[in-house]
């Protein structure tokens, strides 16, 4: 196939008239068609997670209510309730938390790199980037739509998880500022998910091959999470929950915007 190589934004347009608005409605349909496998997968995982969290959450709250109402605490019946809550229920709670902590990077690994890298690998970029919309707005729209879906899903799930996990916080003497609890609540979880997605998209545009970009996304996310946990969070100028949440979400959002801008820049720079 032969295509003409043209500069990314056609020069004669730039000075004379403002860029036309992004056609969100049409792009919604294109994004759905290109990424429906992912979007259906996310929806299925979301429904399964909500069902699981609701059923197990109700059961665990029931167990915890029975335990706190049990008197005297040293009686064999109460000890048995406490043992059950401390072993079986806590195993479920801890397992769900481990899955929730792994979810952003696993989701982003499959959502981020394909946005650009698959378009390059399958050569569909030759068609997509030469449409009237222009490749920069094409990329911005896809990143915004997919990023919004993932962020909203993550926000809903983390609120439900906070409700699910509430009985364990007093029982296990956990502080909400502990790293592994802090990032599952408030707005931090959604912000980490968005950052992971933008990281994946950026690395996909940089490496240009989906599977290596997926592996690098995993490594980069783990490194970023490790650095944030060990070096950044202990040095926040704030020590209370909500200011810390907003601060963390703030720098993650800035990082996400930077990575998205980097992706668009890489797309613009590359000759179609």
Q: Under a CB-based contact definition with an 8 Å cutoff, are residues 14 and 125 in contact?
A: no
Q: Which of 3, 50, 58, 102 binds another protein (CB under 8 A)?
A: 102
Q: Which of 214, 228, 249, 264 binds another protein (CB under 8 A)?
A: 214
Q: Which is nearer to another protein, 65 or 102 (CB)?
A: 102
Helix (H) or strand (E) holding 129: none
Stretch binding another protein (CB under 8 A), from 28-36, 126-134, 204-212, 260-268: 204-212
Query: With binding defined as CB under 8 A, does residue 238 bind another protein?
Result: no
* CA-based torsion, 8, 29, 159, 163: positive or negative: negative
Q: Which of residues 130-169 bind another protein (CB under 8 A)?
A: none
| Distance in Å, CB of 215 to another protein, minimum | 6
Query: With binding defined as CB under 8 A, does residue 37 bind another protein?
Result: yes
Q: Which of 57, 104, 112, 114 binds another protein (CB under 8 A)?
A: 114
Match 């992971």 to its residue by tokens.
196
Query: With binding defined as CB under 8 A, does residue 82 bind another protein?
Result: yes
| Distance in Å, CB of 88 to another protein, minimum | 11
Q: How far apart are the C-alpha atoms of 140 and 138, rounded to whole Å? A: 6
Query: With binding defined as CB under 8 A, does residue 14 bind another protein?
Result: no
Q: Which of 71, 94, 65, 55 is nearest to 172 (CA)?
A: 94
Q: Which is nearer to another protein, 90 or 265 (CB)?
A: 90
Query: With binding defined as CB under 8 A, does residue 175 bind another protein?
Result: no
Q: Which residues contact 197 (CB under 8 A, 6 or more apart)?
A: 107, 108, 111, 112, 146, 147, 150, 256
Report cis status (omega within 30 of 0) of the bond before 72: yes
């Amino acid at each position: 196939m032969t295509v003409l190589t043209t500069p990314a934004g056609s020069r004669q347009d730039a000075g004379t008239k403002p860029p036309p608005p992004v056609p969100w409605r049409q792009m919604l349909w294109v994004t759905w068609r290109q990424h429906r496998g992912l979007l259906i997968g996310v929806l299925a995982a979301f429904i399964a997670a909500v069902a699981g969290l609701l059923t197990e959450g109700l059961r665990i709250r029931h167990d915890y209510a029975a335990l706190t109402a049990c008197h005297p605490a040293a009686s064999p019946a109460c000890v048995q309730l406490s043992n059950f809550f401390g072993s079986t229920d806590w195993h479920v709670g801890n397992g769900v938390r481990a899955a929730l902590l792994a979810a952003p990077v696993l989701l982003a690994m499959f959502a981020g790199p394909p946005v650009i890298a698959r378009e390059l690998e399958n050569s569909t970029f030759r068609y997509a980037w030469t449409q009237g919309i222009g490749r920069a707005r094409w990329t911005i729209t896809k990143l915004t739509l997919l990023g919004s879906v993932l962020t909203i899903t993550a926000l809903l799930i983390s609120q439900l998880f906070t409700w699910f996990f509430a009985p364990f916080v007093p029982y296990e003497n956990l502080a909400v500022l502990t790293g592994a609890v802090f990032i599952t609540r408030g707005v931090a979880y959604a912000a980490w998910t968005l950052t992971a997605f933008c990281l994946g998209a950026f690395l996909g545009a940089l490496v240009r091959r989906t599977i290596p970009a997926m592996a690098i996304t995993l490594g980069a996310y783990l490194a970023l999470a490790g650095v944030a946990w060990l070096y950044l969070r202990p040095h926040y100028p704030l020590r209370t929950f909500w200011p810390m949440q907003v601060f963390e979400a703030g720098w993650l959002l800035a990082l996400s915007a930077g990575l998205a801008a980097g992706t668009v820049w890489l797309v613009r720079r590359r000759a179609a």
